[in-house]
A and B are shown apart, each in its own frame.
Chain A
Amino acid sequence: DIVMTQTPLSSPVTLGQPASISCRSSQSLVHSDGNTYLSWLQQRPGQPPRLLIYKISNRFSGVPDRFSGSGAGTDFTLKISRVEAADVGVYYCMQGTQIPLTFGGGTKVEIK
């Protein structure tokens, strides 16, 4: 199975300041079809997860442009350019390149 490792576990951020979350996979996420199936999800308190970014850097419908994804191979990053109160929650990376689908352990974003 592909292991997804996220850092940090927790990220206290001042409103309006940037935040960055790292995700590393135990093997390359490049699929045989040439795509890299690395997604980022947001889970607000008491809510189901919500897709933010797919295929490393594509923002999903309705996702604000302050969220951006980057990376390649085994190293990926989610950046929030200016954190807002609505961004509080847990963020997960997820790989779909190989079955079983696997998730990172989560990074909690909270306001300082």
Chain B
Amino acid sequence: EVQLVESGGGLVQPGGSLRLSCVASGFTFSSYAMNWVRQAPGKGLEWVSSISHSGSGTYYADSVKGRFTISRDNSKNTLYLQMNSLRGEDTAVYYCARDRGVVRGLEIDYWGQGTLVTVSS
């Protein structure tokens, strides 16, 4: 069974940093591209970032480019999202999501339960 378990969310002040983690199990992690998708309270879904199966290719939404960094450690079956210079509009539930693609996000097939990030003073 595919499982994705996020952690690292919490309350942070504007301008602060957080690192999200996602531990994957139930599949060969190194064979799949991975994504981060967020959902602001009461709002729709917004893609944040994708990373290729090997980690060599990374892609970002314009809204986070230069502030967020996606990475992965295939030896630990773990996906990361380093978030710097956080703003109020980054407040959201952040989902880790597996992709059916290899090189980049194409079709998201499995989602974690999400971790809430709140940016507020």
Which residues of A line the B interface, CB within 8 A? Answer: 37, 39, 41, 48-51, 54-55, 60, 92, 94, 96-97, 99-106
Q: Cβ of A100: which chain B residues have Cβ within 8 Å of it? A: 47, 59, 61-62
Choose one: A37, A48, A101; the contact of B114 (CB below 8 Å): A48
How many angstroms from the CA of A99 to the CA of B108 in the assembled complex? 13
Select the stretch in B8-16, B17-25, B76-84, B99-107 that faces chain A: B99-107
Interface size on B, residues (CB 8 A): 25
Most B CB contacts (10 A, CB to CB) among A41, A48, A106 go to A48
Q: Cβ of A60: which chain B residues have Cβ within 8 Å of it? A: 109
How many angstroms from the CA of A66 to the CA of B16 in the assembled complex? 47
Does B41 touch A at the CB level, under 8 Å?
no
Which residues of B line the A interface, CB within 8 A? Answer: 35, 37, 44-47, 50, 59, 61-62, 95, 99-101, 104-114
Q: Please determine whether A96 and B109 come into contact, CB atoms closer than 8 angstroms.
A: no
Q: Please determine whether A49 and B95 come into contact, CB atoms closer than 8 angstroms.
A: yes
**8 new A-B pairs (CB below 8 Å) besides A92-B45, A103-B46?**
A48-B112, A49-B45, A54-B100, A102-B47, A103-B45, A103-B47, A104-B44, A105-B44
Most A CB contacts (10 A, CB to CB) among B35, B108, B113 go to B108
How many angstroms from the CA of A50 to the CA of B45 in the assembled complex? 12
6 nearest CB pairs, A to B:
A96-B106, A101-B47, A48-B111, A103-B45, A54-B107, A51-B109
Q: Cβ of B44: which chain A residues have Cβ within 8 Å of it? A: 92, 103-106
Choose one: B37, B107, B109; the contact of A37 (CB below 8 Å): B107
